[in-house]
């Protein structure tokens, strides 16, 4: 019999894992690569940032998941892919160079700062577990500094939290900060008055949750403003953020805020290709055909947030959501399992949802919209189900029940690995 | 009425918190300072390092604890004390300078590398939550590197884990690494054979758990060697550890190990004193009298691991244990509450215990010694009770039950805050 074809999957996210579960391991050798040794859960990063959940409870080791029956036969290597050489058909990580017959790119997206100077160095972001932990640390540091700050001007800057971007993440972060202002400051920071804390959500377009229904946008706006005392500014675009914490907008307005949480833009994870030049697409995404094959290649596929394909329904590409990635991973695996019965990918939109502070969410199912406490329960159930690992489900549920009854959390920890330089791994 | 005296407590550990709970807040203004915004739980650091517990579940925010009824009236400031000026009676952190009438130093201890060159930069340590997280990351990185390493010599170094120091921490880490070798490697690292993994525990004296009973030492030695396949070397003292991972001992022996976990020595947290020079004491501890007053001062007290006092029973000072710190904190508070009825501190030894891998522990109660599964249950109960926070108790219990039935954990995560430089807090 002929030897199996080697498939390399870049990224152990929703897309990569769903592909690995479906692909026929008797037909293919499958190796999954990730720069983290765990699968992470972006929808809940904002709760890590706000101290509502611990990072470990929304992370799941890839090697642990490999023991899942559906994953039997897959291999995992830890490493960050630096270059993809389409001539030699190899990928290179910081540790090794590995040959492939078929490459599946499921590496997702990273922050897009639209070239605004030094922004990356100065702002808090939420595109990875690590970034969420850092954002949590930064927010808590501001509060601790403010608690002992006497200069009114510096105090104001320390206690002003600007969130840029009115998408689901921006709305959820602003809501969580609003909750912190309302429930935590008064109880745990005797030297800070809740009224001193300003949470400002800034969106460039004319409504929040632009990708959702008008009613969801309206609900989110009302709740943030009325229940959570969040200042919302629409139709405002940021121009610069200087080292004194001054945010300047295109219309000339300015805000002084030591903390800026950036959720305003994403761009595809960049790769260095040799022997292939991707065509320009919105958000630097990789253009794929209806079978998720990257245009201009024969053996490279892209799924999830990093891929781009226009069809009649999605004239500007599919939304960058977990659901799309999962469905594309499944379909691609089916197509590779039965090349003769290849079927084009069509996104089956299951709707979208966002949560606004505790006890409240907005849900859009096709034409049907609902909001409030029940929507929040649905939101929790959906997210709990998608979490990997029984232990994680249990811990997250405990945290949520806890927070629901105490509107408090014991996770507001400024926690970092020791700063000693890492013990070098000898390569000689 | 006269104004209250200002007490500053340095350190929110076992000693500092027990003092704050007992001290009469109607008589004194109490401010507690800590360089972390949380109370941490050193007895379980080793389980963080081995991926058995998440760091958040053994950490508890100080401000959250301030809501404890017994703490009402205490204040907390975040900051690391750099200098203590006994002339102006002030302490200075990186943020502020604060005056005190009475100072209580409960800052504990840090690693002692006995001046061995570059050791601090090269080894994994376990004296703080941050260090435990880093140690976990380092251990997991070695395994990931080894999983794809083909050179036999480098492979051997990557898979050799040396633990220096045969005290409770050393024994517990070695045991946890032994468990990892036995239960995890075989299931999650297909390219690594458990036999390739070497765990070596090195102790300078002639027995493990020197501070415990002979039978405890014997039990620990037997279990580590027979159940957990840990190599134990006694009467061996380390001389150097070079950049190629070669450990050299005073007797000339060498071991090549990319991972060295250092538990061999501690020394008091150093402070810069102005107007006062502490007398030299073992482990750089502060000499105190029977009332925990620092020798040569009138208004500075030291409790817990950082304090040193000899009496008839403890001719070389009290052991550096949580129990001692808690009892000293209570006694000092009582003495300050009723200066007329001052009572000298006498340590009431409640015994000591250590755990060796899963399902097994050794316990010494005065003349009474027991070991095995029941000892392990006792060990767990005692530690659960001492953990702050219901949520933490619940999460830790879930983790332990989980691990007990699956001998597995989903916490083997290489998790760090994002490396972007921290957003600067403006001080202009």
Domains of chain B: 5-111+266-341 (3.50.50.60), 119-264 (3.50.50.100)
Nearest chain B residue to A63 by CA distance is B188
Q: How confident is the model at residue A405 (pLDDT cuts 50, 70, 90)?
A: confident
Q: How many CB pairs under 8 A join A and B?
A: 220
CA distance A154 to A152: 6
Q: How confident is the model at residue A1 (pLDDT cuts 50, 70, 90)?
A: low
Q: Which residue in B80, B172, B82, B158 sits closest to B126, CA to CA?
A: B172
Chain B CB contacts of A424 under 8 Å are 122, 243
Chain A CB contacts of B96 under 8 Å are 148
Chain B CB contacts of A413 under 8 Å are 37-38, 55-56, 59, 61
Write down the pLDDT at residue B299.
Answer: 97
Which of B66, B413, B425 lies nearest to residue A61, judging by beta carbons?
B413
pLDDT along chain B (428 residues), means of 10: 89 97 97 96 94 92 93 96 97 97 97 88 92 94 96 96 97 94 91 96 96 94 95 96 94 96 95 93 96 97 97 92 96 97 94 89 90 92 90 88 79 76 38
CA distance A312 to A317: 10
Model confidence over A253-276: pLDDT tens digits? 999 999 999 999 999 999 999 999
Write down the pLDDT at residue A366.
Answer: 80
Which of B121, B188, B399 lies nearest to residue A63, judging by beta carbons?
B188
Give, to the nearest 10 degrees, the angle between helix B14-22 and helix B322-337.
Answer: 30
3-state DSSP call for residue A273?
strand
Model confidence over A317-357: pLDDT tens digits? 999 999 999 999 999 999 999 999 999 999 999 889 999 98
Question: How close A411 gets to chain B, by Cα (Å)?
Answer: 7
Write down the pLDDT at residue A421.
Answer: 38
Model confidence over A163-199: pLDDT tens digits? 999 999 999 999 999 999 988 998 999 999 999 999 9
Chain A CB contacts of B188 under 8 Å are 61, 63-64, 66-67
Write down the pLDDT at residue B171.
Answer: 96
Which of B122, B417, B421 lies nearest to residue A423, judging by beta carbons?
B122
> Across the interface, do B130 and A63 touch by the CB < 8 Å criterion?
no
> Across the interface, do A140 and B37 touch by the CB < 8 Å criterion?
yes
A338: left (phi over 0), alpha (psi -120 to 50) or beta: beta
Question: How close B94 gets to chain A, by Cα (Å)?
Answer: 11
Interface pTM, i.e. ipTM? 0.91
Q: Determine the residue among A77, A136, A395, A408 to mutate to test chain B binding: the one whose Cβ has the most chain B Cβ atoms within 10 Å.
A: A395
Distance in Å from the first CA to the final CA of chain B:
40
Chain B CB contacts of A32 under 8 Å are none
Write down the pLDDT at residue A358.
Answer: 80
Question: How close A150 gets to chain B, by Cα (Å)?
Answer: 11
Chain A CB contacts of B29 under 8 Å are none
CA distance B62 to B33: 10
Model confidence over A10-45: pLDDT tens digits? 999 999 999 999 999 999 999 999 999 999 999 999
Question: How close A36 gets to chain B, by Cα (Å)?
Answer: 7
Question: How close A153 gets to chain B, by Cα (Å)?
Answer: 10
Distance in Å from the first CA to the final CA of chain A:
40
Write down the pLDDT at residue B419.
Answer: 57
Write down the pLDDT at residue B422.
Answer: 42
Question: How close A161 gets to chain B, by Cα (Å)?
Answer: 13
Q: Determine the residue among A56, A154, A156 to mutate to test chain B binding: the one whose Cβ has the most chain B Cβ atoms within 10 Å.
A: A56
Q: Determine the residue among B12, B29, B56 to mutate to test chain A binding: the one whose Cβ has the most chain A Cβ atoms within 10 Å.
A: B56
Handedness of CA A230, A231, A236, A241 (dihedral sign): negative
CA distance A169 to A216: 14
**How far is Cα of residue B417 from the mean position of the Cα atoms in its chain?**
22
- Mean pLDDT over A367-392 rounds to 90
CA distance A376 to A356: 9
Which of A54, A95, A409 lies nearest to residue B54, judging by beta carbons?
A54
> Across the interface, do B125 and A418 touch by the CB < 8 Å criterion?
yes
Q: Determine the residue among B413, B421, B427, B428 to mutate to test chain A binding: the one whose Cβ has the most chain A Cβ atoms within 10 Å.
A: B413
Q: Determine the residue among B133, B242, B410 to mutate to test chain A binding: the one whose Cβ has the most chain A Cβ atoms within 10 Å.
A: B410
3-state DSSP call for residue A39?
strand
Write down the pLDDT at residue B53.
Answer: 92
Write down the pLDDT at residue B147.
Answer: 97
Q: How confident is the model at residue A142 (pLDDT cuts 50, 70, 90)?
A: very high
Q: Determine the residue among B391, B392, B393, B401 to mutate to test chain A binding: the one whose Cβ has the most chain A Cβ atoms within 10 Å.
A: B391
> Across the interface, do A60 and B410 touch by the CB < 8 Å criterion?
yes
> Across the interface, do B398 and A414 touch by the CB < 8 Å criterion?
no
Q: Determine the residue among A34, A137, A262, A416 to mutate to test chain B binding: the one whose Cβ has the most chain B Cβ atoms within 10 Å.
A: A416
Q: How confident is the model at residue A201 (pLDDT cuts 50, 70, 90)?
A: very high
Question: How close A48 gets to chain B, by Cα (Å)?
Answer: 11
> Across the interface, do B59 and A158 touch by the CB < 8 Å criterion?
no
Mean pLDDT for all residues in chain A: 92
> Across the interface, do B130 and A417 touch by the CB < 8 Å criterion?
yes
* Strand-strand pairing, B246-249 and B300-302: unpaired
Residue A427 clears pLDDT 50, i.e. is over it = no
pTM: 0.93
Question: How close A70 gets to chain B, by Cα (Å)?
Answer: 15
Chain A CB contacts of B390 under 8 Å are 402
> Across the interface, do B417 and A412 touch by the CB < 8 Å criterion?
no
Model confidence over A88-133: pLDDT tens digits? 999 999 999 999 999 999 999 999 999 887 888 889 999 999 999 9
- The DSSP call for residue A280 is P
With the CA atoms of A128, A132, A138 and A139 taken in that order, what torsion angle do they form, in degrees rounded to the nearest 10? 150
> Across the interface, do A416 and B131 touch by the CB < 8 Å criterion?
no
Residue A422 clears pLDDT 80, i.e. is over it = no
Which of A67, A125, A394 lies nearest to residue B398, judging by beta carbons?
A394
> Across the interface, do A422 and B138 touch by the CB < 8 Å criterion?
yes
Chain B CB contacts of A409 under 8 Å are 391
CA distance B353 to B375: 8
> Across the interface, do B56 and A59 touch by the CB < 8 Å criterion?
no
Residue A151 clears pLDDT 50, i.e. is over it = yes
Chain A CB contacts of B392 under 8 Å are 410
Output the 3-class SS for chain B: CCCCEEEEEECCCHHHHHHHHHCCCCCEEEEEEECCCEEECHHHHHHHHCCCCCHHHHEEEHHHHCCCHHHCCCEEEECCEEEEECCCCEEEECCCEEECCEEEECCCEEECCCCCCCHHHHCECCCCHHHHHHHHHHHHHHHHHHHCCCCHHHHHHHCEEEEECCCHHHHHHHHHHHHHHHHHHHHHCCCCCHHHCEEEEECCCCCCCCCCCHHHHHHHHHHHHHHCCCEEECCCCEEEECCCCEEEECCCCEEECCEEEECCCEEECCCEEECCCCCCCHHHCEEECCCCEECCCCCEEECHHHEECCCCCCCCCCCCCHHHHHHHHHHHHHHHHCHHHCCCCCCCCCCEEEECCCCCEEEEECCEEEEEHHHHHHHHHHHHHHCCCHHHHHHHHHHHHHHHHHCCCCCCCCCCCCCCCCCCCCCC
Which of A61, A95, A137 lies nearest to residue B412, judging by beta carbons?
A61
> Across the interface, do A61 and B120 touch by the CB < 8 Å criterion?
no
Q: Which residue in A340, A308, A337 sits closest to A7, CA to CA?
A: A337
């Amino acid at each position: 019999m002929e030897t199996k074809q080697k498939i390399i999957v870049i990224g152990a996210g929703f897309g990569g894992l769903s592909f690995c579960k479906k692909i026929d391991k008797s037909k293919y050798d499958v190796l999954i690569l990730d720069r983290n040794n765990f699968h992470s859960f972006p929808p809940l990063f904002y709760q890590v940032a706000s101290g509502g959940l611990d990072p470990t409870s929304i992370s799941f080791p890839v090697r642990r998941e490999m023991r899942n029956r559906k994953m039997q036969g897959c291999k995992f290597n830890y490493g960050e892919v630096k270059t993809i050489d389409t001539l030699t058909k190899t990928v290179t990580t910081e540790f090794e160079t590995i040959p492939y017959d078929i490459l599946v790119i499921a590496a997702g997206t990273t922050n897009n700062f639209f070239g605004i100077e030094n922004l990356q160095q100065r702002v808090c972001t939420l595109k990875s577990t690590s970034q969420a932990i850092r954002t949590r640390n930064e927010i808590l540091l501001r509060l601790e500094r403010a608690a002992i700050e006497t200069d009114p001007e510096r105090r104001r800057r320390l206690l002003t939290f600007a969130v840029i971007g009115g998408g689901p993440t921006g709305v959820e972060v602003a809501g969580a900060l609003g909750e912190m202002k309302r429930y935590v400051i008064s109880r745990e920071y005797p030297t800070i008055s809740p009224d001193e804390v300003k949470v400002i959500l800034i969106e460039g377009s004319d409504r929040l949750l632009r990708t959702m229904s008008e009613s969801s946008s309206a609900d989110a706006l009302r709740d943030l403003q009325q229940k959570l005392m969040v200042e919302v500014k629409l139709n405002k675009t940021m121009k610069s953020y200087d080292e004194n914490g001054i945010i300047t907008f295109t219309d000339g307005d300015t805000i002084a805020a030591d903390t800026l949480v950036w959720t305003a833009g994403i761009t595809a994870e960049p790769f260095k290709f040799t022997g292939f030049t991707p065509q320009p697409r919105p958000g630097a995404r990789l253009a794929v055909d209806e079978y998720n094959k990257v245009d201009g290649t024969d053996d490279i596929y892209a799924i999830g947030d990093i891929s781009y394909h226009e069809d009649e329904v999605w004239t500007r590409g599919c939304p960058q959501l977990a659901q799309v990635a999962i469905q594309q991973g499944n379909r691609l695996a089916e197509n590779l399992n039965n090349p003769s019965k290849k079927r084009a990918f069509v996104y089956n939109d299951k709707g979208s949802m966002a949560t606004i502070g505790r006890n409240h969410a907005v849900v859009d199912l096709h034409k049907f919209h609902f909001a409030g406490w029940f929507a929040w329960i649905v939101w929790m159930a959906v997210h709990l189900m998608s979490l990997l690992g029984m232990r994680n489900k249990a811990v997250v549920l405990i945290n949520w029940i806890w927070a629901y009854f105490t509107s408090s959390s014991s996770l507001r920890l400024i926690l970092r690995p020791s700063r000693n330089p890492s013990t070098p791994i000898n390569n000689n």
